[in-house]
């Protein structure tokens, strides 16, 4: 039967029994689709419908998401570069590093600060340097950095390299190291001290800024204070023709010496854009 003719009452009209008209969905009568019987529709702050969860604004990212680009780089070998200024060494064999260069570590790690052997030699008066190393041993990972310097992991293999003592951060304990000196009356202290390192193993070299590797294809000169490293086997001498004048501090002569390198194909010199 049609509505109102003996069948169901017309919506909005009194019921045959005189009761209130049946309500529409959500208005005290039939339940809201998907809701509880008798529930009222949600109302927003300004009387309108509240947005569904799918229409809400995304939750602001947490601190971990914001710092995601700086997460630890997974271990990829003995030495893992975390970024340009921080490196991780995974222990097993011992490693040597500058005292105070450890910024974090994980695992069962011990740090030995006692002098002796190679460390005693490096710290000895012969070098004229204040370079002090510690031994990192145990099982775990040690993160190293120094004054936000740029760090470079150099795998020596079967080759050898000369490194300015001020630019050495860390190395494998298996690396063979000898203290060398370039003698000249014009150098303060009577000589320029550096380390000759050879494999097996790797060394971590520090620079101020991005270094430049310069092939030696003839007489090559480098400011002694900007010199980082060079290949062994070249003839190195203090240049008597080049004296670099700088005003360093009051009362200082401000003069720096240059070293001259003579080599052949395959030799190179590494310099940094900064004078230590």
Q: Which two tokens stand for residue 171?
A: 């190395």
Q: What is the pLDDT of residue 163?
A: 96
**Assigned domain for 167 exists:** yes
pLDDT per 10-residue tile (average), the chain, 276 residues: 50 52 49 50 52 54 81 94 98 95 97 64 51 92 98 95 95 92 74 89 97 95 94 89 50 65 93 86
**Assigned domain for 95 exists:** yes
Q: What is the pLDDT of residue 141?
A: 98
For the stretch 99-105, contacts whose Cβ atoms lie closer than 8 Å and that sit 24 or more positions apart, written own/partner, are 99/132, 99/133, 99/134, 100/146, 101/144, 101/145, 101/146, 101/169, 101/170, 102/134, 102/136, 102/142, 102/143, 102/144, 103/143, 103/144, 103/145, 104/142, 104/143, 105/136, 105/140, 105/141, 105/142, 105/143
Q: Measure the CA–CA gap between 142 and 105, rounded to whole angstroms.
A: 4
The answer to whether the CB of 226 falls within 8 A of the CB of 210 is no
Q: For residue 97, give its domain range.
A: 74-271
Q: What is the pLDDT of residue 257?
A: 82
**Assigned domain for 97 exists:** yes
Residue-wise pLDDT tens digits, 2-45: 554 445 555 555 555 555 555 444 444 455 454 445 555 555 44
**Assigned domain for 19 exists:** no
For the four alpha carbons of 58, 63, 66 and 72, in that order, the dihedral sign comes to negative
Q: What is the pLDDT of residue 242?
A: 56
**Assigned domain for 234 exists:** yes
Q: What is the pLDDT of residue 116?
A: 46
**Assigned domain for 147 exists:** yes
Name the domain count of the chain. Answer: 1
| Reported pTM | 0.70
What's the CATH number where 141 sits? 3.60.160.10
Q: What is the pLDDT of residue 243?
A: 55
Q: Which two tokens stand for residue 125?
A: 């008066």
**Assigned domain for 54 exists:** no
**Assigned domain for 63 exists:** no
Q: Measure the CA–CA gap between 16 and 36, rounded to whole angstroms.
A: 28
């Amino acid at each position: 039967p049609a509505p109102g003719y003996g069948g169901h009452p017309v919506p909005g009209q009194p019921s045959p029994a005189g009761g209130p008209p049946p309500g529409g969905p959500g208005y005290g009568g039939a339940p809201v689709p998907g809701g509880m019987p008798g529930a009222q529709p949600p109302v927003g702050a300004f009387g309108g419908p509240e947005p569904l969860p799918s229409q809400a604004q995304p939750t602001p990212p947490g601190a971990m998401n914001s710092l995601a680009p700086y997460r630890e780089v997974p271990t990829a070998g003995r030495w893992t570069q975390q970024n340009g200024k921080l490196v991780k060494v995974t222990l097993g064999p011992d490693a040597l590093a500058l005292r105070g260069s450890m910024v974090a570590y994980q695992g069962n790690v011990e740090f030995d600060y006692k002098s002796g052997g190679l460390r005693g030699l490096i710290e000895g008066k012969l070098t004229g340097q204040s370079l002090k190393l510690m031994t990192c041993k145990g099982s775990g990972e040690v993160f190293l950095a120094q004054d936000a310097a740029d760090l470079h992991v150099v795998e020596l293999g079967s080759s050898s390299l000369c490194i300015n003592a001020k630019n050495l951060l860390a190395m494998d304990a298996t690396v063979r190291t000898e203290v060398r000196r370039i003698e000249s009356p014009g150098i303060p202290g009577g000589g320029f001290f550096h380390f000759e390192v050879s494999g097996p193993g790797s060394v971590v070299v520090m620079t101020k800024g991005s270094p430049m590797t310069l092939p030696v294809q003839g007489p090559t000169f480098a400011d002694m204070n900007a010199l980082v490293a060079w290949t062994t086997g070249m003839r190195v001498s203090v240049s008597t023709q080049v004296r670099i004048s700088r005003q360093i501090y009051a009362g200082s002569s401000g003069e720096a010496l240059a070293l001259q390198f003579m080599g052949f194909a395959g030799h190179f010199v590494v310099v940094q854009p900064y004078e230590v």
